[in-house]
Structure 1
Amino acid sequence: MSENYPIDFVVTWVDGNDPIWQAEKAKYSPNKNADNRNVRFRDWDNMQYWFRAVEKFAPWVNKIHFVTYGHLPKWLNTDNPKLNIAKHSDFIPKEYLPTFSSHSIELNLHRIEGLAERFVYFNDDMFLIRPVKRELFFAGKDCLPTDFAIASTLSVADKKDTVQYVKFNNIVILNTHFDKKEQMKKYFSKWINLEYGWNSLRNLILSGEHHFKCFANNHLAFSYLMDCIMKCDT
């Protein structure tokens, strides 16, 4: 495959200080148990450094899709040819709007118009801090997304931590369709790999189990292949 295939970056952002957004969110907050912690939507006014880092450390990027409720930073140069403003209303079906859930936004990213076949998804707190090559995100002769599979265990120490329940639901679905022992035998080199360091030992110890328990969930930018997402969406 040609090394010149385009790779897009997608980054989500919200201005938690926007009074219109605040009123809309309050209107649709389901109940007092909703996760309305400020940490979920506060803006540190530092996204300009994210863009500068991409420009400096990943100049090969094809296009940046800036996903937003509708508001934009005052300093943003919207005329930049590499920038695409992707408002929620531009790509998320109307029946799911408005949305204030990162999950529903992420599940619809593949609907962004003009998004490249290969793209990398960033949260607004994921910054490049040194030069990166395209191969960090897509590798091999087929230029497939790079990823990791590190076994872990699931524990719900805090009942208010709903993320753990999301992980549990995902594991239930995964175990419905796959046998862990068979998968590890079939793709042994992808599970037991020197790139994982000591985590390979953890995978090896848990290799005899037929059911997945959980996976390490590092807060990183992740690579996606549009074709695979579309197959899952149909």
Structure 2
Amino acid sequence: DHPKINMVSHEDYIPKQYLPVFNSNLIEIYMHKIPDLSEQFVYFNDDFYITNHLDPKRFFDNGLPKDIAAFRKNTGLSQFEKMLKNNIRLINKHFDKKEVFKRDAWKWFDPSYGSRGRLNHLLKFYNKFITLRTPHNAQPFLKSTFEDVWEKCGEELTAMSDHRFRSNNDYTPELFKTWQICSSNFTPYNTYKDTKMFPLMIKSKKAIKAVREQTYSLVCLNDNVHIRNYKQTMENIKSSFEAILPDKSSFEI
């Protein structure tokens, strides 16, 4: 019971005919229906942690989400990559890449992207969008973006709503992120510079060090059952958090 915490159930915002649901993609495409959700909101997935001071300006600038507009390779081999290709098919249906690049060239070729923006230059004259980079971090959104996508792509999203479990034919939240970017509703920002994803199976020591030294503002600690010395690794991570956050938050008191 805390004034800053609002517990939301699936029943509160997902149409009843699609419940129960075990598909995170379906849970996410209806986020704009959450009661009292702000126009500007930041979506934290399940394994993100704030490890340093964060100002609201980190996520929004003059009301627009800060994001990186940079292409990436997509082999389409994994289920997730297949879903990303589904997203891009919808994007190419509703946006003309030539027009977007002409209007927003400064956003797509922002020097802060560095080497991560290399494909933007290589594909400058290619007529279609390809998959955008999807850094695994906290994602700023506009609720109106979700409403716009649903208005334009309601048929496809409604058809997907029957997928109680993940499917190769799903769309993902990256659809809304990409739509936001193609609509010019973003401010260029290299989100990789203050965020890091650590697969604990191979980078647990680096993760523990990054948390303790507060190297990044946001970290993603991606765990799984195959981590060696799992119990000790978790104890070390817990100790690193206790070192930087010795006092309980108001949510815990």
Q: TM-score, with normalisation over the residues of structure 2?
A: 0.57
1:150 is aligned to 2:64: no
After superposition, the C-alpha distances for 1:92-130 in whole angstroms (9 at most, x for unaligned) are 110110011111110111111111121100111011111
Structure 2: any 5+ residue segments left out of the alignment?
152-253
More helix by share: 2
CA displacement 1:46-93 (0-9 Å, x = unmatched): xxxxxxxxxxxxxxxxxxxxxxxxxxxxxxxxx111000001111111
Q: Counterpart in 2 of 1:218?
A: 135
Q: What number of residue pairs does the alignment pair up?
A: 151
Specify the alignment match of 1:49 in structure 2.
Answer: none
Q: Which runs of 5+ in 1 are unaligned?
A: 1-78
Which residue in 2 is equivalent to 1:62? none
Equivalent residues in 2 for 1:113-124 (5 A)?
Answer: 113-124=35-46
CA deviation vs aligned residue, 1:9-64 (integer Å, no higher than 9, x gap): xxxxxxxxxxxxxxxxxxxxxxxxxxxxxxxxxxxxxxxxxxxxxxxxxxxxxxxx
**Partner Cα separation in structure 1 for residue 130 and residue 145 of structure 2:** 24
Alignment of 1:71-220 (within 5 A): 79-140=1-62, 143-157=63-77, 161-220=78-137
Name the residue aligned to 1:56.
none
Give SS of 2:8's match. strand
Deviation at 1:183, TM superposition (A): 1.5
Output the CA distance in 1 between the equivalents of 2:92 and 2:117. 21
**Residue 25 of structure 1: aligned partner:** none
Change (3 A) 1:180 1:231: closer
- Normalising by structure 1, we get a TM-score of 0.61
Question: Is the Cα–Cα contact under 8 Å of residues 138 and 146 in structure 1 kept in the other structure?
Answer: yes
The runs of at least 4 aligned residues of structure 1 exceeding 6 Å deviation read none
The Cα RMSD (Å) is 1.4
Q: Which amino acid aligns with 2:134?
A: N
CA distance in 2, matches of 1:203, 1:231: 26
